[in-house]
Structure 1
Amino acid sequence: MTTTPTTTQSLPPSKAKLWLAAIKPPMYTVAIIPITVGTAFAFGETGIFDSKIFGTFLTSAILIIAWLNISNDVFDADTGIDKNKAHSIVNLTGDKSLMFWLANLFLCLGILGILLIAWWQKDITVLLIILLCCALGYSYQGPPFRFGYQGLGEFICFFTFGPLAISAVYYSQTQQFSLFSLAPGILIGISTSIILFCSHFHQVEDDLAAGKKSPIVRMGTQLASQVLTVTTVLFFALVVLFSLLHLFSFWTLLVFSSVPIAYQLVTHVNKNHDKPNQVSNCKFIAVRLHFVSGLLLALGLIIPQLS
């Protein structure tokens, strides 16, 4: 009597796994880290920390990221680029209209939190910056712009989640701007853009079919993998440079504890850049790098104020 071996690879993903992939829990770190680092930088420079502002801003950021994630699936459904994406929330629900209005509800709730901050402070500066960030976020996939389809997504991501977000958070704590906040803004902008950059490696064929000129499509996977390596090295080099320029204390060199994750990311992509099934998980390694390096940066920023 013989038996035919079975493997889990031959089984389709369960509904639960598809929903988990659609909700994208790891991606909400792109909300958590800018708020945390911006607050840490404000505290490190001024000693000011308002927990109510921090909690409200963090909640609003998470809601706005939910809007971005759902609305991007809605807009991608319009172009057909997600027709092979089983974990698209539109494909899972089969109701694009419902998802569109749910996304807008999350956006309104997120903006309501920022309005609260503006009301508490009698100052609309933070609100204006966040509205600009939301407009840039919409332009990434939303019609008629769809700048992500022209390969501009990483630039939008850099400014939205980097300098703009960090300056808004800094202002929310101190009600003043700091030119030096550009330093953590640049770092978080780079690490967030790396996540988006890595998300393209496994979907070159779908992007080409939909006319999406992502950076990976434009450069090819091999050159793109080299660009990823250079960008990752640049991230750590800037941490050293900002420390040498005394924009950061040397405690921020704690960020180098995340080097093993960075090494895993670049070696994995360099080895599998042209193998969609193998490289598809690289964005989750990038998320882990962003999260761990961001928390270490925040820790390095607050330690001098605590000592």
Structure 2
Amino acid sequence: MSDVMPDSVAVSSEKLWWAALKLPIYSVAIMPIWLGSALGWAESGDLYLGRFFLFLAAAVLILAWLNLSNDVFDADTGIDRHKYHSVVNLTGKKSLILWLSYLCLSLGGVGIGAIAYLQHDVTVPSLVALCCFLGYIYQGPPFRLGYLGLGEPLCFFAFGPLAIAAAYYSQTQAWSPLIWPVGTILGLTTTLILFCSHFHQIEDDLAAGKRSPVARLGTQTSSRLVQGAIAIVFITILIGVGLQVFPPLSLLSLVALPWGVQLIRQMQQFHDQPDQIKTSKFVAANLHFVSGLLFGLGWIL
């Protein structure tokens, strides 16, 4: 297959750049800080806005590092040769993109360092460094654990319990057993975005030697896992409220249920049809954003 984009699928450079920037996906950086801080506020009664906004900006910069560096690492393996909205493919400047990614990481590190200075405590930087390490070994050489199908568990811990713990600690300098159930809910919705992104690119993944979970399990079994994960998220929230572990207003997150239903139906009907299923990751992103935003709001209210 030619590496040149066919006329039939040619799109404007503006749309390609919009897809390359992945702005909607940055909710995966914002939601852990929002939700962890909301939980900390609910339990301690204090909210340090300076630390919150520092962490928020740092998280966005760190995710920019992750996205840009992953584009470079994928370019090295050739897996993105048909991904026309890759930043590397759009610019043709792989080295520049790599250095830009490290600039984002450095600036994010400054923000995290500022939180450590304010708290006189290195716990938050330690947790963030662990998250960054998990992010790097996902695609970065020589590990490339995502090519072994291990990207999803790495994503779950980095953007779920660990990120929630870091955000919670940045506000309270303490721990809570609720970090785990809250982190599990957010970790699952975040991981769904990554998991759903594999369905439409199995051929390219296998050609580059990437054995994603969807490639290993097949699309039908994988679609059932998506349905199960969505069920776990909402059942956990209902159980948490029923046991009076979560506040009643955390049921606001059920407003996101239509996106969960939409994703389940999409998986049932189109799991083996790449052109139809490729939008599933955006449905998962909507589910992640709305459920996380309203779940956090429930803790605050």
Q: Indicate the TM-score class for this superposition, using the shorter chain for normalisation.
A: over 0.9
Aligned partner of 1:209 in structure 2 is: 207
Q: Deviations over 1:154-196 (max 9, x none)?
A: 1001100110000000000011111221121111001100010
1:187 paired residue among 160, 185, 188:
185
Aligned partner of 2:244 in structure 1 is: 246
Aligned partner of 2:4 in structure 1 is: none
Residue 177 (structure 1) aligned with residue 175 (structure 2):
yes
Instruction: Give how far 1:253 is off.
Output: 1.3
Report how many aligned residue pairs link the two structures. 295
2:115 paired residue among 108, 114, 117:
117
Aligned partner of 1:28 in structure 2 is: 26
TM-score, length of structure 1 as denominator length: 0.94
Could you tell me whether the CA contact under 8 Å between 1:190 and 1:235 is conserved in 2?
yes
Q: Deviations over 1:118-152 (max 9, x none)?
A: 01111111000000100110000001110111111
Aligned partner of 1:102 in structure 2 is: 100
Question: What letter matches 2:192 in structure 1?
Answer: I
Question: What letter matches 1:224 in structure 2?
Answer: S
Q: Deviations over 1:23-54 (max 9, x none)?
A: 10011000111110001100111111010000
Runs of 4+ in structure 1 deviating by more than 4 angstroms, as ranges, are none
Aligned partner of 1:284 in structure 2 is: 282
Residue 135 (structure 1) aligned with residue 133 (structure 2):
yes
Q: Equivalents in 2 of 1:281, 1:67: separation in Å?
A: 24
Aligned partner of 1:56 in structure 2 is: 54
1:77 paired residue among 75, 78, 83:
75
Q: Deviations over 1:210-263 (max 9, x none)?
A: 111101001101111111111111110111122223221121111111111110
Question: What letter matches 2:242 in structure 1?
Answer: L
Q: Secondary structure at the match of 2:178?
A: helix
Question: What letter matches 2:125 in structure 1?
Answer: L
Aligned partner of 1:225 in structure 2 is: 223
| Residue range with higher mean Cα deviation, 171-180 or 158-167 | 171-180
Aligned partner of 1:6 in structure 2 is: none
Aligned partner of 2:90 in structure 1 is: 92
TM-score, length of structure 2 as denominator length: 0.96
Unaligned runs of 5+ in 2: 1-6
Aligned partner of 1:3 in structure 2 is: none
Instruction: Give how far 1:293 is off.
Output: 0.3
Instruction: Give how far 1:10 is off.
Output: 3.4
Unaligned runs of 5+ in 1: 1-8
2:63 paired residue among 40, 55, 65:
65
Structure possessing the higher radius of gyration over alpha carbons: 1
Question: What letter matches 2:118 in structure 1?
Answer: W
Question: What letter matches 1:79 in structure 2?
Answer: T
Report percent identity of matched pairs: 53
Q: Equivalents in 2 of 1:126, 1:188: separation in Å?
A: 19
Q: Equivalents in 2 of 1:289, 1:215: separation in Å?
A: 21
Could you tell me whether the CA contact under 8 Å between 1:136 and 1:156 is conserved in 2?
yes
Q: Equivalents in 2 of 1:48, 1:244: separation in Å?
A: 26
Question: What letter matches 1:195 in structure 2?
Answer: I
Instruction: Give how far 1:278 is off.
Output: 1.1
Q: Equivalents in 2 of 1:246, 1:49: separation in Å?
A: 23
Q: Equivalents in 1 of 2:239, 2:149: separation in Å?
A: 29
Q: Equivalents in 2 of 1:48, 1:246: separation in Å?
A: 22
Instruction: Give how far 1:11 is off.
Output: 5.4
2:234 paired residue among 233, 236, 256:
236
Could you tell me whether the CA contact under 8 Å between 1:183 and 1:247 is conserved in 2?
no
**Cα RMSD (Å):** 1.0
